[in-house]
Amino acid sequence: MRLEDKVALITGAGAGIGRASALAMAREGATVAVVDIDGDKVDSCVTEIQQAGGTALGIIADVSNLEEIDSMVSSVVEKYGQLDVMFNNAGVTRRCKFMDIDEELWDWVHDVNAKGVFFCIKRAAETMIKQGHGSIINTASIAGRGFPGTSNAAYAASKGAVIALTMQAARSLGRHNINVNSICPGVTRTELMQGILNKRHEKEGIPMDELEAQAARGITIGRINEASDIAEMAVFLASPAARNITGQSINVDGGLVMI
């Protein structure tokens, strides 16, 4: 039980990588605060954890809203008296060509993916500094490293910001025994990915099996990530085994990007 007696808060935990990570951390003994903007998905994830014998708290929150960030962290600390792991996983995107990006898309993506991550780090750190320990994990992306298959340039820019924030936060918080790292997933089977493929199928008429083949092309190991692949890295980074790892952005992409 690598996370026994730890309390973990995971944003975007209603589906995909966040849900897989919530289930994985619960299996490793953590009490998990399941945060998502979709209440039905929150309830479903909490129920699954509880039915498996774990402990979970459901919270509905929008991480682009600073008041809601403060409320979700305060709720966890008030209930459990601690916050050991903060996994900033919530993120948004949609497929869009470079010249079609407008201000509305840019602001939507950055409000969640960059601003939300920064203020979640800051709010979690307030509690972790008092405790004298903590682990903060961010979901970045190989898009932030320049991967050409990104959904759009605004998304890539937001994930590049997460990588930079991870390093700056690690430098600022290390003296408080707080580790800060990010995970850079590659092509991963999630509802988000499926939605992008569905839209391409509808718009371009490309068969779904061909779209999946295109998505897997270039992956050295020859297979697309499952959400559980990212979840296992999150569990490791949250565990004592990663106590001397900080400021790192780790690719989990089957060798799609080697940098």
Which positions are catalytic? Answer: 155
What are the DSSP calls for 78-108, one per residue? HHHS---EEEE---------GGG--HHHHHH
> How far, in Å, CA of 162 to CA of 142, rounded?
11
> How far, in Å, CA of 239 to CA of 84, rounded?
10
> How far, in Å, CA of 237 to CA of 100, rounded?
37
Q: What is the torsional sign of CA 232, 238, 239, 240?
A: positive
- Cβ pair 10, 22 in contact under 8 A: yes
Grouping H, G, I as helix, E, B as strand and the rest as coil, residue 236 is helix
